[in-house]
Every structure is written in structure tokens, then in C-alpha cells.
Structure 1
Amino acid sequence: MSVKPSSGSSPLEGPTAVPDDDFGEIHNWTELLYFFNHTLSECHVELSEDTKRVVLFVLYLAIFVVGLVENLLVICVNWRHPSRAGLLNLYILNMAIADLGIVLSLPVWMLEVTLDYTWLWGSFFCRFTHYFYFANMYSSIFFLTCLSVDRYVTFTNASPFWQRHQHRVRRAMCAGVWLLSAIIPLPEVVHIQLVEGSEPMCLFMAPFETYSTWSLVVALSTTVLGFLLPFPLIAVFNVLMACRLRRQGQPEGRRHCLLVCAYIAVFVICWLPYHVTLLLLTLHGTHVSLHCYLAHLLYFFYDVIDCFSMLHCVANPILYNFLSSSFRGRLLSVVVRYLPKDQARVGARASSSSFTQHSIIITKESNLPTAAEPHPHPILNFQTPSLPPNLHSTIA
């Protein structure tokens, strides 16, 4: 949740008159906020703040409930029943933990919006809540990037060195991602303050003399580290993976290509509008001049776009877990384990019957011995025999 750029509604408004066309005569926060109030009000754009608050409350609540359930299930299943994908699922587990951290911060933003951006939790939580969100946001994006790169490298690299050291490399990468994500938000968080006025507000308040520089640096670093660097890596390595699968002419190749397109599309849909809006609002007034109506609309819809970006916490568990038959099988095992004994026996018999049917299919089509061990992903194993074992569940 990046702190919303000053839009005009603030308890710091004052009577100081400021020329509308001269930023050079603005010398303090009161004059700057008055400038925004005065210029934006001239547009006479009638947008309902009450309607926006209701919509935001519903969106935050829906993302919180669905994201909480999904990510808790992903963490529980991958923690208690690791798949044959081995430590490649380590990225998925850590990504789910990061997404869960984002989801747990949503009640704070939900109440803040409902209270018209009044902050009730004190100065410490003003900074800590934003820091907690930023750290988990970067972690989720970086783990997704690592997963995309590692999946392709594992699929194409059969060198003995990689086979021996891949687990150690993944552990080191996960530790590095958490450390890097803990450091990156610090320059922005140190400038977040609780502003006391008629109503306390949690705002980005860099020194006034260098505010435009600080805000531009923070916005650019957020966009570069959160989108411009990860997106090409995610897109390129997923496309390369899809091309490899298509060239092999596997029956599941088309499905994998559609999944790859979904991975890229979801990332773009969630994050591109957010970063474009953030940059435009940061550049407005000091580096570029936006039309009054456009500026007003961007300020009004910034919170909605920011909320919309959090949909990745709901989409990631579906794309990288629930669409995998291996994950669904392990999820069923977890559910059966906590059912009453009578229902558990029924579920176990159904599961055993399902696995027996899969074993028959494998035996019939690939001439394997009838006593072959049931595999949670048998059809994919038969159709893509060249896939390394630790890729079966992550691309299915």
C-alpha cells in the first residue's frame, strides 16, 4: 500500500493564498495542500467519495476472506505434504507466506478507508504497517520471478553441478529475497509520519525542500524493482518454457502455453495500472502537467487501483497451486486426515480407487508393471517423460 500522493483533502488546509500557476511561490506544506485543494476543485468533477468507500470496503473484504483461505491452504498443504517437485515448491511456499502477509494487512487499509483516511493506531503502527506491506509485496514479486527462472533452468539444465547444488541454491535465493525485501522499503518508510490535525493521517512526509525529489525517487524505485525488472524475467522465461513444450509436441503443450499466458497476463493486469498511476501522480505538478480533470480522476481512483493490485494474492494460489492435480491430491489428503474416522475411511477408499484407476491407465498405455506405484500426476508423467520430476506439479 503505497501512501497516496497528496490529493487535496487534508486536515492541514490553510487560508494562505497561492497562485495557481506558480509552484515556485509555494514554501511550506500548508501552501502546497491549499494549492491542490484550490486547483482540483476548479474541475467540478462530481464523484461520490461515499460510493468509493463502500466499493473499497467490499473489495478489501472479499480479497481478505478469499486470499486468507487460499494462502492458508497453500501453506498448510505444502508444509505438511511436500510434493515430488521437491524444493522447487519452496518458492511457492514462500510466495504464499508473503501473500498471506499482504492479506493480513488489509483490515487496516479497510478501516482507514472507511474512516476517511483517519489513522487511529498511533505513530509506530503508521510506519510498521506500511513497512510490513511493502516487504511482503516485494517478496511476493521476487519469489514469483525466482520461480519462473528456476523452473526453466531446471527444465533445460541437466548438468551434474546443478543437480547436486540446486537445493542449496534455492534455499540461498529464498533467504536473499527476504533480506532484500526487508531492506528495499526503508527509504520510503522512514519518511512516513503520523500527521496530527483535526484528524490524524498517516502520510509520506519527506522534507519539504526535497519532497519532489524524494517522492520521484521512491516512485521510480517502486516501479523499477516491482515491475520493470521482474516483468521481463517472468515473461521471457515463461515464454521460453512454453516454446520448449510446444516444440516437443506434447499433448499437454497447449494447456501449458495457456497457463503461461495466464501467468503473464495476471501480473500485468494487477501491477501495470498501479505503477502507471503512481508515476503520473508523482510527476504531476513538478515534472509534467496533467489536465485538471485527468489529475482529479487519477487521485480519485488511485485507491481503487491500489486495491485492485492486491488481487494477485487471490490469483497466485489458483494459478500456481489449485490448477495442479498434484496439489489437489495433497489437499484432499489433508482434508481426509481431519475428517471424522467414518468419513475418512470413505475418503480414503475413494482416493485409493482414484489412484488405482490412474495406475491402470498408465499400465495400459505405457506398458508399465501393474504394480507400479501410484503417482499423484500420472497422466502428465506419461505424456511428458522428459520433464524432470521436480517440474511435474509446477507446470501442471
Structure 2
Amino acid sequence: MSATSGPSVVPTRDVGEIYNWTELLHFFNHTLPECHMELNENTKRVALFVLYLAIFVVGLVENLLVICVNWRGSARAGLLRLYVLNMAIADLGIILSLPVWMLEATLDYTWLWGSFSCRFTHYFYYANMYSSIFFLVCLSVDRYVTLTNASPSWQRHQHRGRRAVCAGVWVLSALIPLPEVVHIRLVDSFEPMCLFMAPFETYSTWAVVVALSTTILGFLLPLPLIAIFNVLTARRLRQTGQPEGRRHCLLVCAYIAVFVICWLPYHLTLLLLTLHGTHISLHCYLAHLLYFFYDIIDCFSMLHCVVNPILYNFLSPSFRGRLLNAVVHYLPKVQAREGRHASSSSSSSTQHSIIITKEGIQAPAAGPHHHPSLNFQAANTPPTSAPQSLVAS
């Protein structure tokens, strides 16, 4: 991504002799290399295409399942499911923007979709990116608060408070990208390209400000909050003597590790390339490698859209039970229509009822998928194990 990957950075060497953007782009493309490296751009494009496609297909299926399952119970959503639902919606927004970046990389960063889509697509991506990260922070904080706060006032107003927090996150995420998006525009110098084009005289300053704000708001502030509150939650669960305390601790480590692995390479590379030539000086070969692999690192950061549904949903027995309940909810209808013309003798066969418990464990039933008239219902019994629901609700 050209603009999505952050502002392009131009070394200050001989910049005083450049008077317009055409000369600047020519300078960037022809005078930046100071050493020679054999790096295959065609191989990079193929790798990017495959990686984008894999993330798009897997992430689309996962997040749609998460949204559908959690939306069905959103009216009576317990504990932290509201944050999980909103995080899945934000991740789905990121996933839906991937085909544009995939085609842009394949076309050697030529933008063919007009000026409006140039800005809107980047704005849509950034708003959902910040939303996903902020909802992850809210989930970590609220999980600990819910575990430790048993006051009647909190119990009465927690759902209303979560809805207000979710609305505030969406509004904040919609405002944060505006200073950067207003400087993204379509440039028709050589090929039409969607680039970050701040005022020419203050371009370097704008580039540093945008890169620092992206790193601070998207990584440096969320990481300590996610790490601290997840560690506190794990300690509290171990103090309660829960039999699955070790599993909870492993999940907490996975939450923190995935966030660091997905986002640290992106923000570190963004800062190094932004500061290169103005505040720091990278070795020639290192600069070339960072510029070459930047798009791959940027694409790699989107793996959180694939991993988040697994960590916060599919590993939860409760979610797997609700997923099974949602799937089989529609199967009897199809089977019933097919069985309308069956002989009347089949109506005397035994009907079974499968109960999905709060842990997502299915009660025994003989051949449920062979009978057209099964009744599936979710148990309405509230969970008796609060830590189980808190860690993976």
C-alpha cells in the first residue's frame, strides 16, 4: 500500500534543489539508491498477492461467523461479548479493504479507482484499524474490572456503560485518521498513484508527526494497557484456584504475544523509514531491505484479523457451543421440508433435543443429523464459572 503504509520518506540530501512534486518523485526513484542489491520485485508481488488472498479468504469466513454467532445473542449478551462483536466488525472492515490493496500491489501501485476512492479506502482502513485495536484494549480492561468489581451499581449499569464505550471508540476511531487522510491524494505524475502528499514545505514534519501519532496511538499506548490488565486478570484467576488457571495464563500470554508479533515489525519499520534521512541515517543495505520488505511487513500486520477470531472466539467452549447451536438451528428446517412427503410412519420415530450448555458441551443424542425434526435450544442457565466466561466469553 502506498499511502496506507504511512507517508513516503525522502532523504534530505539535495532536497533544497527540488521545487515541485514531479522533481521530488524523480529524485526519490532515481537518486535514493546508493548501493546495489538484487531484489526481485516480481517475486515480491506474487508473495503479496498470495498473502493478501489468504488473509482475505480466511479472515472473511472467520469474522462473518463471529459476527453472526454473537449477533444472535447480542440482545442478552453477557459479560464482554459486545466488545468481541465490535472487534469482529472492525476486523471485517479491514478484510473488506484487502482486495484493493491486493490489486494495487499487483499493478505496481498504480491506482485505477479515482480520487474519491483513494481517500475513502484509506480512511475506511485506518478507522477500522484503530477500532480493532481500541476494542482489544477495552476488552482487556473490562475483563479485569468485571472480575474484581462486584458492586451492585456496576452490575446494574455495566451493559449501558459498555454500549457507551463502544460508541465512543467508533467516534474516536473515525476522527483520528482525518489529519492524515486529508493529505492523501491521487498523483498523475507518471502513473496514477495514491500517495501521502502533505504541503511540500513541511512534508518532512508532517511525515514524522503522522508516523509518531500512528505508532503512539496504535501501539505504544495500547500495548501496556493490554499487557498489564491481562496479566492482572491472569493473577486474579490463579488466586481463585480455578482448575483451568494454567490454560487462562497461556491464553493471556497468547493475547500479548500476538499483538506484539503483528504490530511491532510494522511500527518499527515505519519509524525507521520515516526518520531516515532527516533524523537518523540507516546503512544503505538496511534502508534498501526495509523499503523492499515494507509492504510485506504491512500486510503481515493484518494477520491479527485472522488470529483474533481464533483467540477470542473459537478457543472458547462457550462460543463453539453457540456456533453449533447457530448452525444446527437452520438444518432441521431444510430437513423438515425434505421430509414432508415421507411416509407417515416416520413421524413416530423418536425426537431428540440437544441442549447446548453454558460450556458449549452437547448432551448425548442418537444421530441428530439423520432426523428431520430435531429441536435445538440453548440453555438459559447463567454461567456459574465467572472466570471461564471472562477469559473467553
TM over 0.5: yes
Report the TM-score when normalising by structure 2: 0.86
Determine the structure 2 residue equivalent to 1:177.
169
Aligned equivalent of 1:232, options 224, 244, 250: 224
1:4 and 1:302 in contact (8 A); partners too: no
Aligned equivalent of 1:92, options 78, 84, 87: 84
1:87 and 1:170 in contact (8 A); partners too: no
Amino acid paired to 1:257: C
Flag the 1:324–1:316 CA change in 2: closer, same or farther, 3 A: same
Amino acid paired to 2:389: H
Aligned equivalent of 1:221, options 191, 201, 213: 213
Shift of 1:83: 9.2
Shift of 1:246: 1.6
Shift of 1:159: 1.2
Determine the structure 2 residue equivalent to 1:297.
289
Aligned equivalent of 2:198, options 190, 197, 206: 206
Determine the structure 2 residue equivalent to 1:151.
143
Determine the structure 2 residue equivalent to 1:392.
389
How far apart, in 2, do the equivalents of 1:110 and 1:46 lie?
Answer: 24
Tell me the secondary structure at the aligned position of residue 35 of structure 2: coil
Runs of 4+ in structure 1 over 2 Å off: 1-8, 20-42, 81-85, 340-346, 348-358, 373-378, 393-396
Amino acid paired to 2:85: L
Flag the 1:349–1:290 CA change in 2: closer, same or farther, 3 A: farther
Q: Structure 1 stretch 73-82 or stretch 270-279: which is displaced more? A: 73-82
User: What runs of 5+ residues in structure 1 fail to find an aligned partner?
Assistant: 9-17, 359-372
Flag the 1:287–1:26 CA change in 2: closer, same or farther, 3 A: farther
Shift of 1:165: 1.3
Determine the structure 2 residue equivalent to 1:319.
311
How far apart, in 2, do the equivalents of 1:245 and 1:343 lie?
Answer: 44
2:230 and 2:252 in contact (8 A); partners too: yes
User: What runs of 5+ residues in structure 2 fail to find an aligned partner?
Assistant: 340-348, 366-376
1:326 and 1:393 in contact (8 A); partners too: no
Aligned equivalent of 1:124, options 104, 107, 116: 116
Shift of 1:27: 3.6
How far apart, in 1, do the equivalents of 2:292 and 2:148 lie?
Answer: 47
Determine the structure 2 residue equivalent to 1:284.
276
2:6 and 2:211 in contact (8 A); partners too: no
Flag the 1:320–1:70 CA change in 2: closer, same or farther, 3 A: same
Determine the structure 1 residue equivalent to 2:154.
162
2:313 and 2:392 in contact (8 A); partners too: no
Amino acid paired to 2:8: S
Amino acid paired to 1:274: Y
Amino acid paired to 2:70: N
Aligned equivalent of 1:76, options 49, 65, 68: 68
1:135 and 1:184 in contact (8 A); partners too: yes
1:56 and 1:110 in contact (8 A); partners too: yes
Q: Is 1:106 paired with 2:98?
A: yes
Flag the 1:137–1:268 CA change in 2: closer, same or farther, 3 A: same
Flag the 1:241–1:87 CA change in 2: closer, same or farther, 3 A: closer
Determine the structure 1 residue equivalent to 2:8.
6
Shift of 1:163: 1.1
Report the TM-score when normalising by structure 1: 0.85
1:102-123: CA deviation from partner (whole Å, max 9, x where unpaired): 0000000000001000000000
Aligned equivalent of 2:29, options 22, 33, 37: 37
